[in-house]
Amino acid sequence: MDGAELEARFAVPGVLGFETTDSGLVRARVTAASAEATIYLHGAHVTHWMPSGKEPVLFLSERTELAAGRPIRGGVPVIFPWFGPRHDGRQGPQHGFARTAEWALEFAAVAGDEVHLLLTLGPSAESRALGYDHFRLAYRVIVGRTLTLELTVANTSNAMDAVLAFEEAMHAYYAVADVREATVSGLAGTAFLDKVDGMQEKVQAEAALAFTQRTDRVYRHTTATCAIDDIAGKRKIRIEKMGSHTTVVWNPWSELAATMADMEPDAWPRMLCVETANVGESAVTLVPGATHTMRATVSVEGGD
């Protein structure tokens, strides 16, 4: 459905509207008393969330592409069915196909001071060409004073031997005033793969992770709630999670950011990815008929 059809079907004047961008992407605009948000059907991509009285909580690059088939830089990319480069010997786009697919909006409603949306993604010619057919994704987005993101994956195959194995992530770009003055707590003593140091397996000794260089860490076997202490921004962003055993922390820093066409060169200090995920040995395998749900609940303290 295009913006006009969704507007006719789901709009609530003054709270929930729909529009089609000049580049042909359809997006929902939430303007509730509790918060505002923007969600594209492209990639089921939440690009903006701002509780009332606060600053935006998600970073969105001013240079991001907003075009069919292209990933959006910032917000919360939905990563499925692999994380990073495809690593099963076959070809496929970085971070899988879900973040550049056109999702369907199946449900949208205002409940109290929250707006609930449900987006779904099923098999397509592209996914089948990549070897993915019998799956369905349902992504529940609840916009309010907190932001709830819940991804359910179903193996819809009837063939008894058709397991569905996948990695997944909510690759969230959080907005910070200055990453050089921010820390992430919740990962003390947690093992991680250090992607900037030869994928070495390490254990975080410090209570809170500070940022002094490009950082790209895949924390393993962790269900912990993380908190970004955005010291310069005088606020904390808490990320609680359910159904996730991996947390990825990433900032490209100056040198890598300068090579990214969809990122302003001086924007990297204003973003920090803390990603709710299941990757590597925490990848999920579903037997036919099974489902798996991963949820992140984001809240903000301070920064008023």
Q: Which is nearer to ligand TA6, 32 or 193 (CB)?
A: 193
Give residue number: closest CB to ligand TA6: 250
Compute the least distance from the CB of residue 250 to ligand TA6, in Å. Answer: 4
Compute the least distance from the CB of residue 152 to ligand TA6, in Å. Answer: 22
Q: Which of 6, 50, 273, 284 lies at the binding interface for ligand TA6 (CB under 6 A)?
A: 273
Is 275 catalytic? The answer is yes
d(CA 248, CA 253): 16
Q: Which of 42, 48, 171, 245 lies at the binding interface for ligand TA6 (CB under 6 A)?
A: 171
Q: Which of 94, 200, 254, 291 lies at the binding interface for ligand TA6 (CB under 6 A)?
A: 94
DSSP characters for 61-103? -TT---STTS--SBSB-EEBS-SSS--SSS---TTBSGGGSB-
258 is a site residue for ligand TA6 (CB under 6 A):
no
Q: Give the C-alpha distances (Å, rounded to integers) separating 120 from 31, 200, 238.
A: 23, 37, 26
Q: Nearest to residue 37, comparing CAs of 67, 60, 7, 20?
A: 60
240 is a site residue for ligand TA6 (CB under 6 A):
no
Binding mask 43-82 for ligand TA6 (x = CB under 6 A): ----------------------------x-----------
Q: Which of 42, 95, 171, 245 does the annotation list as catalytic?
A: 171
95 is a site residue for ligand TA6 (CB under 6 A):
yes
HSE at residue 270, side-chain half, CA atoms within 13 A, is 15
Compute the least distance from the CB of residue 80 to ligand TA6, in Å. Answer: 14
Contacts of range 29-32, beta carbons closer than 8 Å, 24 or more positions apart? 30/115, 30/143, 32/110, 32/113, 32/114, 32/115, 32/143, 32/144
Is 171 catalytic? The answer is yes
150 is a site residue for ligand TA6 (CB under 6 A):
no
254 is a site residue for ligand TA6 (CB under 6 A):
no
| DSSP helix, strand, coil percent of the chain (3-state; round to 5) | 10, 45, 45
Q: Are strands 208-210 and 235-242 parallel, antiparallel or unpaired?
A: unpaired
Q: Count the site residues for ligand TA6 by CB under 6 A.
A: 11
Cβ pair 154, 256 in contact under 8 A:
no
d(CA 241, CA 251): 21
Q: Which is nearer to ligand TA6, 226 or 248 (CB)?
A: 248
Q: How many CB atoms lie within 10 A of CB 71?
A: 20
Q: Which is nearer to ligand TA6, 171 or 241 (CB)?
A: 171
Residues that bind ligand TA6 (CB under 6 A): 71, 84, 94-95, 171, 195, 216, 248, 250, 273, 275
Q: Which residues are catalytic?
A: 171, 275
